[in-house]
Chains A and B, each alone.
Chain A
Amino acid sequence: MSVDFTLDLRGESCPYPVIYTLETLRDMKKGQTLQVISDCPSAFRNVPEEVVKHGYTMAQEPVKNGQEFSLFIQA
């Protein structure tokens, strides 16, 4: 899978992961893939939920790496 953009949000807490992710996706072209790296525990749940609700798709399962994780989202 090729990733078009990466948003490194490590250290950011709620609500900024959701806001940044939705803003970035809004400016991307349909079909492009965004990788979001975060270590905010709440974001592991609320970012995928909000992304799907707003009509985007999760391109693959989240990848966990210790206390950090990557989400892959298709615009």
Chain B
Amino acid sequence: MSKVKNLYSTWFGNYWSPYLVMVMAGILSAVYFGITHTVWAVTGEFTRLGGHLLEFVGMDVSGWAYFDLVHMNGTTWTRTDGWIVWGMFIGALITILLSGNFKIRMPRQKRRYVQGFAGGIIAGFGARLALGCNLAAFFTGVPQFSLHAWIFIVATGAGTFLGAKLVNTRWWKGKPVLKKGGSLQSVKQGKNRQPIFGAVLGLAYLALIVCFYATGRTMLGTAALFGAAFGILIERGQICFTSAFRDLWISGRATMTKAITLGMAVSSVVTLVIILVYGLEPITKITAPSTLIGGLLFGLGIVMAGGCETGMMYRLMEGQVVFLPVFIGNIVGATALAYAWDHMGVYNLLVKSGSPVNLITAMGPAAALMVTLLVLGVGFAVAAYWQKNYRFGVGFKKGDATHVR
């Protein structure tokens, strides 16, 4: 019995290595592409949810070009992209409950709700302007050898720099409560029942996946299964794409940066193998001025909100209430972009001039992989150097932030 307990606490008492998690996510996302010919992505579905909401309140969105672009067929329950999103929410919730870590967490600084909502709108708008968030235009965009992903990454980096400057201002961050002396926490009594709920939810969800397969809806079953796997992985690894950029500017932490870079490298190799073996077309998005501006807005928005469209999902399931306005903001922002796309000339101004560029078509598969791995390798090395030498408040300057040594 104690062996079982030990095993349980290894898996659910501690978080998993972010490196291991991102390598697994990289492999799984490549396999998911091989099976469904679509990539792991979330914000496209957020846009469709916004469209359905507009339809629900009686608006006719059939003429909106952006909704044509993302295909509004069926409902969120009959789309693979829908089940990726719900699977991620449910998968994350299952492991959060199994580890007994659900708690309603309310920020003491009430301004966080407004900041989260504003950041959510900007991030949602920016992500859809660039035709994808940190997944399709980043974690699953780079392994598709789509050039737009690289432009998006650089622009996101610049946006997070502005965001980090903003959240570090006194009026934005607010002051914490600092008390003199120690503080004894009252030890909580009673057994935590959350793991039982987690197990029940897990079994019910498994039954649903089996049901999808049994009734011939194989793709929905696959999406539900992979969605849950992605949700479990990002929750257990506490994967944060926002942190991968923002923390470089704040305290020089690069753990997430390195883990995500490693995951993209592994995913690039596996994806290329799948593309070549099965003769698939890589998914290439338009590279245009919109990619740059979208990335910039996305970077700024995710730092303001404290999380991107992906990280927001498991944090909301943990009970972090501040991510509810972020989620709503994401959908509002994505829907606003869908409106502005044709009604306000965004497409003509920023997108029309661009075209999809894929590295495989441009330079052949071998060179595309080499260049991708080389750039990722350089990125990893820079992140490692950054982590070692960048300090809170002083950056790369010699001398210490602390008065101590």
Interfacial residues, chain A to chain B (CB-CB below 8 A):
2-16, 18-20, 22, 24-26, 30, 35, 37, 39-42, 44-46, 49-50, 53-56, 63, 65-68, 70, 75
Contacts and interface: CB of A to CB of B under 8 A. Distances in A.
A15 B306 CA distance: 7
B182 A6 contact: yes
Contact of A15 (B167, B180, B393): B167
Nearest to A67: B103
A25 B106 CA distance: 25
Given A19-B392, A45-B15, 9 more contacts: A4-B180, A5-B178, A7-B176, A7-B177, A12-B109, A14-B242, A15-B247, A20-B176, A42-B238
Contacts of B240: 14, 42
Size category, B interface: 35 or more
B11 to A, nearest CB: 16
B391 interface: yes
Interface stretch (B38-46, B338-346, B396-404): B396-404
B142 interface: no
Contacts of B246: 15
Q: 8 closest pairs, A vs B, by CB?
A: A3-B182, A67-B103, A6-B183, A66-B188, A20-B176, A11-B107, A22-B392, A6-B179
A26 B393 contact: yes
Contacts of A49: 253, 255
A8 B129 CA distance: 39
Contact of A56 (B15, B307, B315, B402): B402
A65 B307 CA distance: 26
B322 interface: yes
Interface of B is mostly: loop
B165 interface: no
A45 B238 CA distance: 9
B253 A3 contact: no
A31 B289 CA distance: 53
Nearest to B322: A13
Contacts of A46: 243, 247, 253, 255
A7 B393 contact: no
Given A11-B107, A15-B167, A26-B403, A5 B251 contact: no
24 contacts: A4-B181, A5-B178, A6-B181, A6-B183, A11-B107, A11-B108, A13-B105, A14-B240, A14-B242, A14-B243, A15-B243, A15-B247, A22-B251, A22-B401, A25-B402, A26-B393, A26-B402, A37-B183, A40-B320, A46-B253, A49-B255, A54-B391, A67-B102, A75-B402
A8 B107 CA distance: 11
Contact of B178 (A22, A24, A30, A39): A24
Contacts of B405: 55
A56 B404 contact: yes
A20 B251 CA distance: 12
B178 A18 contact: no
A53 B386 CA distance: 12
A44 B391 CA distance: 20
B101 interface: yes
A26 B187 CA distance: 30
A1 to B, nearest CB: 8
B393 to A, nearest CB: 7
Interface string B35-65: 0000000000000000000000000000000
Nearest to B109: A12
Contacts of A42: 238, 240, 243
Contacts of A70: 183, 185
A20 to B, nearest CB: 4
Contacts of A39: 103, 105
B401 A12 contact: no
Contacts of B243: 14-15, 42, 46
